[in-house]
């Protein structure tokens, strides 16, 4: 076995002869002279790493000193310290990891997909109702006043596994008058009386039929949608198309007649 200095000036080894040079004897406190090896760990004559294992000696054997026991305790403490450094604990939540420590992979929680208008189609209102004023009849050559009865509606349902409330507000109206003519309006129309107009006068939703007959009037309403999942109303981009509403209307032909007095003069006369 080689020799080792435990830092107190005592040389530890299994031989009686210290390394070359003036080395203090056991128990002395004099440091080595300048230029000589002090025998501390890391020196040229350091015994750590030597082939001889101090553990080969057994306590109580001839020639073994107490210094060797101290060396064994020192070596065991060093090995335990190395084991402690190898068991680096994981950082506490919110505490930054120590430099050089590998970061643990964090799997993000899945995010719920945003609700779109495509998810609301099955909840869209249908059968809003449509007809002409008055009484689903009209006169050929004169405006027939088409009216849709669609209003704001709020429904509840399950969308993407969540219970939601959906508010549908009419945004536009696609009218098909049944004679091949169509029109898109921002309003569903209103009766002449509600508009403050005389009968058979033009309105934003009226249409003039050229000939008498029976026609199928249809309207498709496009709705703007808002969704409430419990945190308030949120507008959804785009529009939802409701189911179309249809109504048969009768268009009559009008004939003129010569009368002796006006309707103001004779309110019960023909055509009044």
Does pLDDT of 53 surpass 60? no
**Segment 162-214, tens digit of pLDDT:** 889 999 999 999 999 999 999 999 999 999 999 999 999 999 999 999 999 99
Asked whether 238 and 223 are in contact (CB, 8 A), the reply is: no
* pLDDT over 90 percentage in the chain: 39
> In b/e form, how buried is each residue of 162-179, taking b as 16+ CB within 10 angstroms?
eebebbbebebbbbbbbb
pLDDT bin (cut points 50, 70, 90) of residue 239 is: very high
Residue 203, preceding bond cis, omega within 30 degrees? no
Q: What's the alpha-carbon Rg for the chain, to the nearest Å? A: 51
**Segment 97-112, tens digit of pLDDT:** 556 556 666 666 566 7
Give pTM, 2 decimals. 0.54
What domains lie within the chain, and their CATH numbers? 1-91 (no CATH), 117-252 (2.60.40.10)
């Amino acid at each position: 076995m080689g020799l080792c200095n435990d830092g107190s000036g005592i040389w530890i080894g299994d031989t009686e002869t210290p390394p070359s040079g003036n080395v203090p004897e056991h128990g002395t406190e004099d440091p080595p002279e300048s230029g000589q090896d002090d025998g501390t760990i890391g020196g040229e004559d350091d015994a750590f790493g030597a082939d001889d294992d101090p553990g080969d000696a057994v306590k109580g054997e001839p020639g073994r000193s107490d210094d060797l026991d101290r060396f064994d305790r020192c070596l065991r403490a060093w090995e335990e310290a190395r084991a402690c450094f190898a068991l680096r604990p994981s950082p506490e939540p919110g505490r930054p990891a120590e430099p050089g420590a590998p970061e643990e992979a964090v799997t993000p929680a899945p995010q719920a997909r945003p609700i779109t208008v495509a998810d609301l189609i099955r909840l869209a209102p249908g059968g809003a109702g449509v007809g002409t004023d008055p009484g689903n009849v009209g006169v050929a050559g004169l405006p027939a006043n088409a009216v849709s009865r669609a209003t704001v509606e709020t429904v509840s349902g399950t969308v993407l596994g969540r219970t939601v409330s959906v508010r549908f507000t009419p945004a536009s109206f696609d009218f098909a008058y049944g004679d091949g003519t169509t029109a898109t309006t921002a309003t569903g129309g209103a009766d002449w009386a509600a508009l403050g107009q005389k009968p058979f006068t033009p309105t934003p939703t009226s249409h003039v039929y050229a000939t008498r007959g029976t026609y199928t009037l249809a309207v498709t309403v496009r709705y703007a949608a808002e969704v409430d999942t419990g945190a308030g109303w949120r507008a959804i981009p785009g529009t939802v198309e409701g189911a179309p509403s249809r109504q048969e209307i009768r268009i009559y032909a009008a004939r003129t007649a010569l009368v002796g007095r006006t309707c103001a003069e004779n309110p019960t006369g023909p055509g009044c």
